[in-house]
Structure 1
């Protein structure tokens, strides 16, 4: 938290440690991903950085750690889904809470898929739900792909 200048060096160390351990040929962390790490408030200090790098390497399919594979805390993830606050719906005749909440949930599912280029496992992680729950919700709203 206090020595942000150490983040690139520590991240590089953890990259070397886990790329061999996980058998991945990941050589570096993208500049944008590093910017995200540099601006992230690490509530868990060095251990959280280590865990983020390890999970990123495990999730990454390219030879470089990209921002999409960074798994930051729920608070940080919530910022990625910041939605404009809708005006309060008029509650009365014709209002249906279930329909209103379903619309919000569908929007968040779509945003998660957009942010992860359609990678469902990452989208579920981004939303903080299990992959099984994510698939259930897609099916519930008729958003499931034919490839499942």
Structure 2
């Protein structure tokens, strides 16, 4: 906010002698950084109990007559994805870019080498690192590996 005020103040100040009698920005009183921070809301997050309740609910079959309780039914198909989100903290693009070939089942590790990116009305896979750095490796416990199996 202050940066925008400074830019406008400079531009209007330059216009004062020739185009306008006085700069409207001269009397403006933009909020300070402290005032802006005081107005920002905290981003809501779940604590451990809330996360456990949420994950328990996404693994609960819906009870619909067509629901067989399998992962192919719409009520459970995203449960593994939500579990990976909660256990690893990866971004959506990183989770959707995971490849089976980059999972080391023996070590319990997931190598993040790809991300899904949006381009116009379509999506595509792109290398995670643009500068050729090594891929990120995340180690997870056996329960997460079992979810992925």
- If the TM-score is normalised by the length of the shorter chain, which range does it land in? under 0.3
TM-score between the two structures when normalised by the length of structure 1: 0.23
Greater RCO (CA < 8 Å, at least 6 residues apart): 1
- The higher radius of gyration belongs to 2
Task: Write 1 or 2 for the structure with the bigger share of helix.
Answer: 1
Task: Write 1 or 2 for the structure with the bigger share of strand.
Answer: 2
TM-score between the two structures when normalised by the length of structure 2: 0.23
